[in-house]
Amino acid sequence: MLKSPLQIARSSYQPKLPVALKGNVVLKEGEATQSVADHEEIKALFPNTYGMPILSMVKGEKKPMEPMNVGVILSGGQAPGGHNVISGLYDGLKNLNPQNKLYGFLGGPSGLIEHKYVELTGDIINEYRNTGGFDIIGSGRTKLEEPWQFDKGIEICHELGIRAIVIIGGDDSNTNACVLAEYYLQKGCGIQVIGCPKTIDGDLKNSQIETSFGFDTACKTYSELIGNIQRDANSAKKYWHFIRLMGRSASHIALECALQSQPNICLISEEVEAKNMTLNDIVDGIIKVIVARADAGLNFGTILIPEGLIEFIPAMRRLIAELNDLLATNEGFNALETEDEKRQFVKACLSPESSALFRDLPKGIARQLMLDRDPHGNVQVSQIETEKLLIEMVAKRLAVMKASGTYKGKFSALGHFFGYEGRCAIPSNFDADYCYSIGITATWLIAGGKSGYMALVQNLTAPASEWQAGGVPITMMMNMEKRAGKMKPVIQKALVDLEGAPFKYLAAHRDEWADANTSYIYPGPIQYYGPSEVCDQPTHTLKLEKGAFED
Ligand code: FBP
């Protein structure tokens, strides 16, 4: 494999391991748990994995262990650090017993069903230590929900002598992990299932999981790009940059990037929903800032737009929910060939309010809203060009204002979308260390005979040596939600908390950032070497949430 000098240097980086995970570890049980909501429904659906205690890892005596084989699956979108979860798992297994084997299922959950796998040897693992991407075994979004799929999993696990499967994924994939764990316990087939918290979106977090891995690196990568654009804008002084940031639903990425780079505007979807805002209200807010800056002779600026914005505008949310149900259940739609036929068909089936909204959308956006849902029933918001929609609406409004003499500036806008640029970046020290610890933690959960747990590493604003490890029952994070037209048990997504410290910090500073006096910060690229205050820092979000942020 061809490697850059940085890749070569990074391959020998030894992730920092918490003292808690050094040496021999035993599991200590804490309080029994319950689901975050819908207790009775979740309990009935998960009789074997509901109510299990939180686990913490403490020092213990070394016990002889029989050799064991483990399978690992990467699921969903790529996130920096996935390879380190696998290398931590591999090292953890080999430390327990050099005869242990790690198998990687290829291409995501479908590898388990289709029996596509590879044995991950030391040579393979060494090629991927501290690298970005999921290419060691590939990823996929196949939803594991049918008993026949679970049974195919049993077949291959028994054939390979696999005692546990580790699923590295986001909320949907860890929901799969929990369903699988429950099924295997019900069947008594002797296969454990352990989840690991992955997603750049940062929305898999709760009272136990402090952050998902990949969020740190992705936000640092996007913040570097935003900072570079801001410096360009401040030099050329001629463009408004509308920058859409990945993060399917929650606005954590946009918020974190705003905290790091201090743009003129950062939209937060959760606030838009809470204030019951329309698209026109959002445009009004943007216009106000553009006009004020133009009055001060500044015809440039930056606007961060969370990818999921469109779904949080209440009227759009109702439209999308109706479209989701329609596309999930209506065969007639799929048989139609042209875009025009599809649009007419959809308009006729929607409620009058949604139909009117759909009719007024630019054709491109209407087409993007009708695209296939992902296997979990989600709209593929990464395909919806909200930044272009906003540019178009703002430009139209400013043209009218210019004609009436209420706007005297010049408006020239550029749209950007940062998503795939950050998902496979070389993991930051934080993600490299965090992921490696997650892998080791997963090994101990398996060794302790646990199933239906997610690997837990906490105290993340402290130096890595002080991190704590344990396990959290996945059922504890679940509630019932409507998916593809049916109520399903799913892990509750963590949206931006409008009462939380990160949003409050933005709210307290945004007027100053919007103002004529440019407050841009240029964070620069991720630093892998150097003083700890430069290269080992967690996100601003995490520091603000834990009260460890210094202005
Ligand atoms: P996960 O939830 O699987 O981690 O994926 C996150 C994500 O990167 C979202 O931010 C984005 O909307 C989506 O994946 C894009 O999906 P795809 O990779 O299928 O284009």
Reading the block at residue 484, the tokens are: 């593809």
Ligand 1 close to Cβ of residue 262 (< 6 A): no
DSSP letters spanning 347-395: HHHS-HHHHHHHHHS-HHHHHHHTSPPPTTS---GGG--HHHHHHHHHH
Residues 6+ apart with CB under 8 A from 251: 267, 268, 269, 270, 306, 308, 309, 495, 496
CA R_g for the chain: 24
Element holding 272 (H helix, E strand)? helix 269-274
CA torsion 376-378-381-382 (nearest 10°) is 0
- DSSP code for 462: S
CA distances to 75, 82, 376 from 129, in Å = 19, 10, 30
Catalytic: which of 172, 201, 216, 431? 201
Report the C-alpha gap between 167 and 137 in whole angstroms.
13
Report which protein residue has its CA nearest ligand 1's atom 7: 77
Token match 């490696």: residue?
A: 436
pLDDT of residue 401: 96
pTM to 2 decimals?
A: 0.94
Question: Would residue 201 show up in a list of annotated catalytic residues for this protein?
Answer: yes
Cα(405) to centroid of ligand 1, in Å? 44
Q: What is the pLDDT of residues 446-497, one digit of tens each?
A: 999 999 999 999 999 999 999 999 999 999 999 999 887 789 999 999 999 9
CA separation for the pair 316, 357 (Å, rounded): 8
CA-to-CA dists, residue 379 to 249, 331, 382, 483, angstroms: 10, 18, 9, 11
For the chain, which ranges sit under pLDDT 50?
none
What count of Cα atoms within 13 Å lies in the side-chain half-sphere of residue 541? 25
Please tell me the distance from the alpha carbon of residue 262 to that of residue 429, in angstroms, as a whole number: 23
Q: In degrees rounded to 5, what are phi and psi of residue 544?
A: -65, -40
Which residue's CA lies nearest to atom 16 of ligand 1? 77
* Residue 306 CA, ligand 1 centroid: distance in Å: 13
CA of 133 to the centre of ligand 1 (A): 13
Closest residue by Cα to residue 457 from 449, 443, 346, 352 = 443
Give which of 432, 379, 382 is closest to 128, Cα–Cα.
432
230: nearest Cα among 520, 523, 516, 526: 520
List pLDDT tens digits, range 231-262. 999 999 999 999 999 998 999 999 999 999 99
Q: Which helix (H) or strand (E) holds 480?
A: strand 478-483
The predicted pLDDT at position 376 comes to: 63
> What pLDDT sits at residue 132?
97
pLDDT of residue 347: 87
- Tens-place pLDDT, residues 266-325: 999 999 999 999 999 999 999 999 999 999 999 999 999 999 999 999 888 899 888 888
Atom of ligand 1 nearest to the CA of 380: 12
CA 345/CA 207 separation, integer angstroms: 44
Q: Is 250 in the pocket of ligand 1 (CB under 6 A)?
A: no
Burial of residue 4, with CB atoms counted within 10 A of its CB: 0-12 exposed, 13-18 middle, 19 or more buried: exposed
pLDDT at 375: 67
